[in-house]
Amino acid sequence: MKVLLIGSGGREHALAAAIARSPLLDELLAHPGNAGIAEYARCLDCADESALFDAIEIEGVDLVVIGPEAPLVDGLADRLGAAGVAVFGASQRAAMLEGSKAFAREFCDRHNIPQPAWRHFRKRADAIAYVENHTDAAHVVKADGLAAGKGVIVADDKAETIAAINTLLTDEDGAGVVIEERISGVEASLFAIADGTNAVFIGTAQDYKRAYDGDKGANTGGMGAVSPAPALTAELTEEAWREVVEKTIAGMRAESMPYQGFLYAGLMLTADGIKVIEFNCRFGDPEAQAILPRIEGDLLAAMRDASQGNLGGNLEKTSLSLQDNVAVVVVMANQGYPEKAVSGAVINGLAESAPNTLVFHAGTTQAGADIIASGGRVLAVTGLGANQTEARKNAYARVGTIAWDGVFYRRDIGG
């Protein structure tokens, strides 16, 4: 197979490494790719979507794998399908699970999927009046559309909630905000591959959203991850699969928008049971860098089968398995992230190596022989081990060999 991978982040680097292991692969292409992805793929430079479709035809691409959420929500999978191109990734309607918080909440209500209490507002005055008249002081305020993992503000009191509304609800003709009950517990994520009818479990992870140690600072796209999620026992995983994943796949199919692609269920493990915090229509980042190195078997074959509606319903049918180990991922970012990152420094130490570690590029560019830290999140360093302590030790040992001016990272991932 000739495969085209869409995307340029750490998730796509991890996907490229996993796809490259498949005996089915003849050649991997990437658009636009990055310096790390280029180790596995021939990177294309398509000026626009028309040029991309021309390249797909000229290259004879057998399968397109869409990594990020934005092109899925924008309907790229639908346009590829209409052009007769096989694609792994959710349709535009199905991707609304991530593209609209209000859509996802309404969907969960219709299908009895456990979630926090919520309200959707398009007008600032209505949202503020609701908060002022509400007995609970603490809320979570979410921008209704895509926000790259940063459109969520957790407020401790009414003043903070109103400030969050004023920050996120800037266009009263736009998507608005969702105001949710603030629930407490341990966060975890569960991941599946779906073919529209069936879904296959491919792992769990715990993400570290806040920018700084001790879960301080602004929300980010993710500053680290651990897989498997320590709090998701076998019993809780089974409950989450039954109450969230199976109901989601069945509900999407019943509503004539079958879900095909990676499904990410963000969960809160509360005293009242599992509740859905969010859905994502793609693999998480940096969760992909934690889970994909633990997967054994042919991921490309599973994605091909899912794109054909022929996945089956269990790991054995897909020839996939999860190693009995632990992965800890530490994200290395540029100073100023997630607000305004200061980029442009040369990264040192990438040529070094350390056992049981992998380095995935997220925001890098190649400049001659140098690799430049060009994004907000720049690298994701994965450590593998027999347990979390060992995996964490390996990850931070590798982090210690990499440096550039302005680098920062959390020092408590997996601790």
Distance (Å, rounded) from C-alpha 151 to C-alpha 135?
24
Distance of alpha carbon 132 from alpha carbon 303, whole angstroms? 48
Over 60: is that where the pLDDT of 316 sits?
no
DSSP 195-258: ESS-EEEEEEEEE--EEETTTEEEE-S-SEEEES-TT--HHHHHHHIIIIIHHHHHHHHHTT--
Amino acid making up residue 162: I
Mean pLDDT of 385-411: 97
pLDDT in tens, 345-395: 999 999 888 899 999 999 999 999 999 999 999 999 999 999 999 999 999
Spatial contact of 100 and 90, defined as CB atoms under 8 Å apart: no
Sequence ranges of the domains in the chain: 2-92, 117-181, 186-322, 326-408
Closest CA to 296 of 313, 318, 311: 318
Residue 48 contacts residue 27 (beta carbons within 8 Å): no
96-121 burial: b if 16+ Cβ within 10 Å, else e:
bbbbbbbbbbebbeeeebbbbebbbb
From 264, 255, 146, 243, select the one nearest 194 (Cα to Cα): 264
For 222-237, how does the pLDDT look when each residue is reduced to its tens digit (9 = 90+)? 999 999 999 999 999 9
Cβ–Cβ < 8 Å for 356, 325 = no
**Would you say 199 and 193 are in contact if contact means Cβ atoms under 8 Å apart?**
yes
The residues near 316 (Cβ < 8 Å, ≥ 6 apart) are: none
Q: Which of residues 313 and 369 earns the better pLDDT score?
A: 369
Question: What CATH fold (topology level) applies to the domain 2-92?
Answer: Rossmann fold (3.40.50)
Burial of 20 (0-12, 13-18, 19+ CB in 10 A): middle
User: Looking at residues 253-280, what average pLDDT do you find?
Assistant: 96
As a whole number, mean pLDDT of residues 271-284 equals 95
In terms of DSSP bridges, do strands 210-212 and 27-32 run parallel, antiparallel, or are they unpaired? unpaired
Helix axes 101-110 and 246-254, enclosed angle (nearest 10): 90
Are the CB atoms for 302 and 311 separated by under 8 Å? yes
| Bond into 114 cis (ω within 30) | no
Look at residue 177 in the predicted model and tell me its pLDDT. 94
Three-point CA angle 208, 409, 293, nearest 5°: 60
Give the Cα separation of 165 and 260 in Å (integer).
Answer: 34
Buried b (16+ CB within 10 A) or exposed e, 198-209: bbbbbbbbbbbb
Give the DSSP letter of residue 292: G
Does an H or E element contain 51, and which?
helix 49-59
Q: Which two tokens stand for residue 112?
A: 């009895």
Confidence (pLDDT) at 171 = 74
For residues 169 and 49, give the distance between their C-alpha atoms in angstroms, rounded to a whole number.
31
Count of residues making up the chain: 415
pTM given for the model:
0.94
User: Which H or E run includes 63?
Assistant: strand 63-66
Residue-averaged pLDDT of the chain: 94
Percentage of residues in the chain with pLDDT exceeding 90? 89
Regarding the domain delimited by 326-408, which CATH topology (the fold level of the hierarchy) does it fall under?
Answer: Glycinamide Ribonucleotide Synthetase; Chain A, domain 4 (3.90.600)
Distance between CA 23 and CA 37 in Å, rounded?
18
Encode pLDDT of 13-62 as tens digits. 999 999 999 999 999 999 999 999 999 999 999 999 999 999 999 999 99
pLDDT band at 397 (very low <50, low <70, confident <90, very high): very high
- Which CATH number describes the domain made up of 117-181? 3.30.1490.20
CATH 3.30.470.20 fits 186-322, yes or no: yes
